[in-house]
């Protein structure tokens, strides 16, 4: 099972096609700073992200969780 640091809808994008998420929704928002690597999404579709500033969060394409 993957531990999600930032619950997010990976289909939500800004005008430039970048995934966005609210860092306030992070499991531990106080531990998040620019450059921190987080796992965002859901247990069925997730990706590793590196917050660029506070928002938006830059993300490579979504990955499927192992065993799903």
Divide the 68 residues of the chain into consecutive groups of 10 and give the mean pLDDT of each group.
Answer: 88 84 84 83 87 52 54
Cα angle, residue 30 at apex, residues 29 and 31 outer, rounded to 5° = 90
In this prediction, residue 5 carries a pLDDT of: 92
pLDDT value of position 33: 78
Scan for tokens 């690597």, then name that residue. Answer: 37
Give CA–CA dist 68/37, Å, rounded: 23
What one-character-per-residue DSSP string does 2-42 give?
Answer: PPPSEE--TT-B-TTS-B---GGGSSSGGG--TT--EEEE-
């Amino acid at each position: 099972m993957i531990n999600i640091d930032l619950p997010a809808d990976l289909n939500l994008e800004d005008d430039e096609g970048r995934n966005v998420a609210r860092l306030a929704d992070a499991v531990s928002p106080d531990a998040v700073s620019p450059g921190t690597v987080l796992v965002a999404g859901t247990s069925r579709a997730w990706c590793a992200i590196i917050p660029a500033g506070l928002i938006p969060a830059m993300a490579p394409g979504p990955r499927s969780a192992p065993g799903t």
